[in-house]
């Protein structure tokens, strides 16, 4: 079957990859001249990469890890020590670590929390453990029910002090969703906590060894094209054309450089665009359907990614850092964490600025200035004295609408991959799957879409169509690499 997919982010590419595994012919259409959507990256005139986002891979990403395995590129994931590292704003220049011992879950996480006395008092630890009990005992059902509360309210209701929210969970909330605990749905943080408590290596972090565009997206494209599929850049979907019965007749592509618009037809059609462009693109008759009206409940959240090149080393830490700064979220010295960006004598910090709603319309200069002021607090020793660190250059990448904004009540609006229109399907990290708005969520959604198309063929023909779950190439990997030695 021929399937046309709009959007070459991870969801669209994953959908196409799994469709080729099921014997179909996908054609992916990407509006931009770069692969990857929210993981896209560019090379500047000096040959330095800059990215849409600082991306960390977690051990609790079974579908992403399986994809790496199927593509034969597992060695491109640089696994870091099993620890979570936080800045301590009240003790500038110092870090606090949650070192996770290599023992079964949940004892590994519990031990790491018990051993850390910088960020939580014993009273706070006990209150938090008691507060978490219903999530552990009643599982995902309870976690889903908590979508009605923001995380600060949930902590208060569970009798956990305000300081836990501001100290630990501000960092986690901003890292996962780019918004603060008083805005984020409790379901998000409880889901992440549950995964980390259930999986021995769930909170272990890896970095890709180079740019996601070249090192992850391109191998997926090669896999697809070697098996008869296509991926076309500079191919924006302009309009979804309908048959009289409301099914899709074709995708109309906008002609670039004064070329004519072009109609593409197929057996099935997929939107792997993010939710905001999809809403704009919905044909009039579909806007009357409750399924598509629900999409109005979802919208992308703004976020900013910065890259700062310095004339000297600011840190030798080879890991993700949680800044706990009101301005910044996570950051990393990519000259330590990423093989292709390595530099033994100069730092390149990649930092996520979130929440970004008050910053997204500001100039790059203002954003860099404010970030530098934060860094002077995080690294006080490096910006004073005889040889203060000098900023050599910077890149700022603004994304006004990134992943869906995960405020309370959003779960009910996240659509399944199968729509009421027989030949039209959805993919994207905003669609319903258990991994939230993440790379893992995008890859899983693409896989679920390929499965839904296969299932619908089975329904139409009464025949047994191939299944994602049955394909020998698609066995779920339950564990990430067990060893910290995975770093090199």
Ligand X SMILES: Cc1cc2nc3c(=O)[nH]c(=O)nc-3n(C[C@H](O)[C@H](O)[C@H](O)COP(=O)(O)OP(=O)(O)OC[C@H]3O[C@@H](n4cnc5c(N)ncnc54)[C@H](O)[C@@H]3O)c2cc1C
Residues of this chain that bind ligand X (CB under 6 A): 6-12, 29-32, 37-39, 52-56, 236-237, 272-274, 277, 303, 305, 352, 399, 402-403, 428-429, 437-442
Select 7 or 131, whichever has its Cβ closest to ligand X.
7
Select 110 or 252, whichever has its Cβ closest to ligand X.
252
The set of residues, in sequence order, having a beta carbon less than 8 Å from that of 225 and lying 6+ positions away, is: 231
Angle, nearest 10°, between helix axes 186-198 and 122-145?
110
Q: What is the DSSP letter of 404?
A: B
Q: Nearest distance from residue 305's CB to ligand X, in Å?
A: 5
Q: Phi and psi for 16 in degrees, rounded to 5?
A: -65, -40
Select 135 or 175, whichever has its Cβ closest to ligand X.
175
User: Residue 143 in contact with residue 190, Cβ under 8 Å?
Assistant: yes
Select 32 or 362, whichever has its Cβ closest to ligand X.
32
* Token digits of residue 11: 């969801």
Select 12 or 59, whichever has its Cβ closest to ligand X.
12
Q: Nearest distance from residue 116's CB to ligand X, in Å?
A: 22
Q: What is the DSSP letter of 261?
A: P
Angle at 326 between CA 336 and CA 368, to 5 degrees: 60
Q: Nearest distance from residue 170's CB to ligand X, in Å?
A: 17
* Token digits of residue 244: 């009289």
Q: Nearest distance from residue 46's CB to ligand X, in Å?
A: 22
The DSSP element (H or E) to which 140 belongs, if any, is helix 122-145
Largest CA distance in the chain: 77
Select 399 or 419, whichever has its Cβ closest to ligand X.
399
Q: Nearest distance from residue 363's CB to ligand X, in Å?
A: 19
Q: Nearest distance from residue 122's CB to ligand X, in Å?
A: 31
* Token digits of residue 428: 């994207």
Rounded to 10 degrees, what is the CA torsion of 19, 20, 23, 28? 70
Q: Nearest distance from residue 40's CB to ligand X, in Å?
A: 7
Q: Nearest distance from residue 442's CB to ligand X, in Å?
A: 3
Distance between CA atoms of residues 101 and 109, nearest Å: 8
Select 311 or 340, whichever has its Cβ closest to ligand X.
340
Q: What is the DSSP letter of 121?
A: -
Q: Nearest distance from residue 36's CB to ligand X, in Å?
A: 6
- Of 24, 76, 21, 67, the C-alpha closest to 338 is 76
Select 131 or 428, whichever has its Cβ closest to ligand X.
428
Compute the Cα dihedral for 332, 334, 335, 336 and give only its sign: positive
Select 31 or 76, whichever has its Cβ closest to ligand X.
31
Rounded to 10 degrees, what is the CA torsion of 314, 315, 320, 321? -70
Select 170 or 272, whichever has its Cβ closest to ligand X.
272
Select 10 or 119, whichever has its Cβ closest to ligand X.
10
Q: Nearest distance from residue 190's CB to ligand X, in Å?
A: 17
Q: Count each helix (H run) and each strand (E run) in the chain, helices first.
A: 16, 20
Q: Nearest distance from residue 101's CB to ligand X, in Å?
A: 24
Residue in the structure block whose two tokens are 């208060």: 156
Q: What is the DSSP letter of 81?
A: P
One DSSP character per residue, 308-329 reads EEESS-S----S-EE---SSEE
Three-state SS at 99: strand
Residues in the chain: 488
Q: Nearest distance from residue 205's CB to ligand X, in Å?
A: 9
Select 123 or 358, whichever has its Cβ closest to ligand X.
358
CB atoms within 10 A of CB 383: 17
- Could you give the C-alpha distances from 175 to 63, 120, 178, 370, 442, in angstroms and in order? 20, 19, 6, 19, 17
């Amino acid at each position: 079957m021929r399937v046309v997919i709009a959007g070459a982010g991870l969801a669209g590419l994953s959908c196409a990859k799994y469709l080729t595994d099921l014997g179909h012919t996908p054609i992916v259409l990407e509006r931009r001249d770069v692969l990857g959507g929210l993981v896209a990256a560019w090379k500047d005139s000096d040959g330095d990469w800059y990215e849409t986002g600082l991306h960390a891979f977690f051990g609790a990403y079974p579908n992403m890890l399986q994809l790496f395995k199927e593509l034969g590129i597992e060695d491109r994931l640089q696994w870091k020590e099993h620890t979570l590292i936080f800045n301590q704003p009240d003790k500038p220049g110092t870090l606090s670590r949650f070192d996770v011992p290599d023992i079964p879950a949940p004892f590994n996480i519990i031990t790491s929390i018990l051993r850390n006395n910088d960020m939580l008092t014993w009273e706070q630890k006990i209150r938090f453990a008691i507060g978490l009990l219903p999530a552990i005992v009643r599982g995902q059902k309870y976690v889903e029910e908590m979508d009605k509360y923001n995380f600060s309210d949930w902590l208060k209701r569970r009798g956990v002090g305000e300081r836990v929210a501001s100290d630990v969970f501000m960092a986690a909330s901003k890292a996962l969703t780019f918004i603060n605990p008083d805005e984020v749905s409790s379901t998000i943080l409880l889901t992440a906590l549950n995964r980390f408590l259930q999986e021995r290596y769930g909170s272990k972090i890896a970095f890709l060894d180079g740019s996601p565009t070249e090192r992850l997206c391109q191998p997926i494209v090669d896999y697809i094209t070697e098996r008869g599929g296509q991926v076309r850049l500079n191919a924006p979907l302009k309009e979804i054309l309908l048959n009289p019965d409301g099914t899709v007749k074709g995708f109309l592509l906008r002609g670039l450089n004064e070329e004519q618009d072009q109609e593409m037809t197929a057996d099935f059609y997929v939107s792997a665009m993010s939710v905001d462009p999809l809403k704009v693109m919905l044909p009039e008759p579909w806007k009357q359907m409750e399924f598509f009206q629900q999409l109005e409940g979802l919208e992308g959240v703004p976020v900013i990614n910065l890259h700062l090149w310095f004339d000297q080393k600011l840190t030798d830490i080879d890991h993700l850092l949680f800044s706990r700064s009101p301005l910044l979220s996570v950051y990393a010295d990519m000259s330590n964490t990423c093989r292709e960006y390595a530099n033994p004598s100069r730092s390149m910090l990649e930092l996520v600025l979130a929440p970004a709603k008050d910053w997204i319309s500001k100039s790059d200069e203002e954003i860099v200035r404010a970030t530098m002021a934060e860094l002077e607090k995080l690294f006080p020793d490096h910006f004073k004295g005889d040889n203060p660190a000098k900023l050599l250059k910077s890149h700022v990448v603004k994304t006004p609408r990134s992943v869906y904004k995960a405020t309370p009540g959003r779960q009910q609006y996240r659509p399944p991959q199968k729509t009421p229109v027989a030949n039209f399907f959805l993919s994207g990290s905003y669609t319903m799957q258990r991994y939230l708005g993440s790379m893992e969520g995008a890859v899983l959604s693409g896989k679920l879409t390929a499965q839904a198309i296969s299932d619908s063929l089975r329904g139409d023909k009464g025949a047994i169509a191939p299944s994602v779950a049955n394909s020998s190439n698609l066995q779920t990997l339950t564990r990430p690499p067990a060893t910290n030695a995975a770093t090199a």
